[in-house]
């Protein structure tokens, strides 16, 4: 694969500044959420981003995924600035870098079955077509994350941990090289957190996936790294 310096994705001098209203009487101030962030992610490695709530970790995740525009700096994917990508190059980037969000319930469309949720990205990226092939791939994905016989069910029928497994399966559906995991455990019951963490560890070891793992919990970061 075409990577620069052996890295899948790099952040170079990332900055993000928001304009916030000072008071009801008008006026705005600048809030610098991200200031000069640099890091690189290599295959089958975990880069951990640790900090308190409100320190800008999730903003970095959104910048990496091109979900928000930076105020400065670059995100480099295979030698190209992702904010310059268009057409097929942008589509390839979207496939290569996937995200698992903090809140699994908010991440899933309540009107879509598990099958619809997992098959859609495969259809978009031309990975599979036809009900039979898609069903087989969806079934395989669900087994990978520890779920069986759930294709026709809806998000409200699952626990928080099960929903997060579905979100992880959706991220895996397109065969990414790196997954950005933005506080993927913090919305879950403590009893479930270890199960999801173990699943992520297993995926890293069995697939060679790289992770950008965002957390406020050093213990969790140590376990995954």
Q: Where are the domains of the chain?
A: 9-224
Q: In this structure, which topology does domain 9-224 adopt according to CATH?
A: Rossmann fold (3.40.50)
With bands split at pLDDT 50, 70 and 90, how would you rate the model's confidence at 225? confident
**Alpha helices (runs of H) in the chain, residue ranges in sequence order:** 57-64, 87-96, 104-107, 114-124, 131-144, 160-172, 190-207, 218-224
Q: Please, what is the angle between helix 114-124 and helix 131-144, to 10°?
A: 110
Closest residue by Cα to residue 121 from 105, 109, 106? 109
With bands split at pLDDT 50, 70 and 90, how would you rate the model's confidence at 2? very low
Identify the weakest region by mean pLDDT among 79-88, 172-181, 183-192. Answer: 183-192
Q: Please, what is the angle between helix 131-144 and helix 160-172, to 10°?
A: 120
With bands split at pLDDT 50, 70 and 90, how would you rate the model's confidence at 32? confident
pLDDT exceeds cutoff 50 at 1: no
- Residue 31: per-residue pLDDT: 81
With bands split at pLDDT 50, 70 and 90, how would you rate the model's confidence at 20? confident
DSSP state of 24: T
Identify the weakest region by mean pLDDT among 146-150, 167-171, 191-195. Answer: 191-195
With bands split at pLDDT 50, 70 and 90, how would you rate the model's confidence at 94? very high
């Amino acid at each position: 694969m075409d990577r620069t310096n052996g890295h899948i994705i790099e952040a170079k001098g990332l900055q993000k500044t928001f304009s916030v209203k000072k008071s009801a009487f008008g006026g705005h101030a600048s809030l610098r959420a991200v200031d000069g962030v640099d890091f690189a992610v290599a295959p089958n490695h975990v880069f951990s981003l640790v900090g308190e709530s409100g320190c800008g970790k999730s903003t970095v995740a959104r910048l990496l995924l091109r979900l928000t525009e930076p105020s400065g700096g670059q995100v480099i994917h295979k030698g190209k600035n992702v904010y310059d990508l268009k057409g097929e190059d942008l589509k390839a980037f979207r496939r290569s870098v996937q995200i698992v969000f903090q809140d699994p319930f908010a991440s899933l469309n309540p009107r879509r079955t598990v099958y619809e949720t997992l098959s859609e990205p495969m259809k978009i990226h031309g990975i599979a077509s036809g009900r039979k092939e898609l069903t087989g791939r969806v079934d395989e994905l669900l087994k990978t994350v520890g779920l069986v016989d759930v294709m026709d069910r809806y998000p409200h029928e699952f626990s928080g941990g099960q929903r997060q497994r579905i979100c992880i399966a959706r991220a895996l559906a397109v065969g990414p090289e790196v997954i950005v995991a933005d506080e993927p455990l913090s919305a879950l019951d403590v009893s479930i957190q270890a199960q999801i963490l173990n699943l992520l560890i297993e995926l890293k070891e069995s697939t060679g996936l790289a992770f950008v793992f965002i957390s406020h919990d050093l213990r969790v970061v140590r376990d995954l790294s």
